[in-house]
Amino acid sequence: MSKIANKQKICEVLMEAAKTDKDIVALCSDSRGSASFTPFAEQYPEQFVETGIAEQNLVSISAGLAKCGKKPYAVSPACFLSTRSYEQCKIDAAYSNTNVKLIGISGGISYGALGMSHHSAQDIAAMAAIPNMRVYLPSDHLQTECLMKALLKDEKPAYIRVGRNAVDPVYEEGKVPFEMDKATVVTEGKDAVIVACGEMVKPAADAAKLLEAEGIRVTVLDMYCVKPLDKDAIVKAAKNAKLVVTAEEHSPFGGLGSMVSQVVGRECPKKVVNLSLPDAPVITGTSKEVFDYYGLNAQGIVKTVKENM
């Protein structure tokens, strides 16, 4: 199956919806090219707003449009959207409970060699800490399509983080077991549980296959809905397992690992190991090179499970 970037699928879904819904508005902060939103801007110029390099204005304008009955999708690099415009996300979007969908593109370490200034390793923690703000990290373009179609139907604020590059699909065309705000069970097993989000789901699924070949059967949970976190799915999978491992393209603090640890510690105490980026500026390289270096790949997940069983 072909690899498609999640950001491209977001644009495709919104372009299809905009054919009949003229209230849909896409906004970019000098990022339409990197966001794959040039086709939207060209086909629907009256439903597109370019703010320039002004992420704070991007969010505030989106909130204003939402209050006027529009359905804004603010698209900007995750590193800037989650930090430079944090107050606007907190007050204009979340506190005011406006129908603003914040699309953080090129999330995590997607920008590679551009370094810490362009990496977003804190956005899950930051956005999840805001009341009324939901946080989603879809794993492939098929799940992204399902998520975006679901978000088109509600009027609540949300932050959606996707990577920069095309990713290998986790699911099959027409066979995506999607339920809004519910984790997807990718594989099932009782020896260990791997909870992953975003681009870490595919390595987790690949790790499960490698472990099964060695007689270790694991449950893989695609926790695309980081907030609201599907606590029931975590408890159900973890209660009979020997170990829980989390995998995320994020700082070790305040992200998926921290959230899962809280649930497991309270509901069914057992060992939880968090695989994440380090609490330091990451090495320079492509996403794959960085993931490989820090063990955020199938082999690294396998190693972690076997060492902690």
d(CA 31, CA 135): 21
Q: How far apart, in whole angstroms, are the C-alpha atoms of residue 23 and residue 34?
A: 24
Can you give the pLDDT at residue 3?
A: 87
256-293 pLDDT per residue, tens: 999 999 999 999 999 999 999 999 999 989 999 999 99
Integer CA distances (angstroms), 2 to 120, 141, 304, in order: 27, 10, 30
Residues with pLDDT less than 50, the chain: none
Q: What does pTM read for this prediction? A: 0.97
| Residues 129 and 88: beta-carbon distance below 8 Å | no
Please answer whether residues 246 and 207 qualify as being in contact, where contact means their C-beta atoms are separated by less than 8 angstroms: no
Q: Are strands 101-105 and 71-77 parallel, antiparallel or unpaired?
A: parallel
Spatial separation of the C-alpha atoms in residues 6 and 34, rounded to whole Å:
12
Is residue 51 within 8 Å of residue 72, measured between CB atoms?
no
DSSP helix/strand/coil, 281: coil
Sheet of 218-222, strands arranged across: 184-187, 218-222, 192-196, 243-247, 272-275
Torsion sign across C-alpha atoms 35, 41, 47, 48: positive
Q: Rounded distance, CA 166 to CA 36, Å? A: 12
pLDDT of residue 231: 98
- Tens-place pLDDT, residues 14-65: 999 999 999 999 999 998 998 899 999 999 999 999 999 999 999 999 999 9
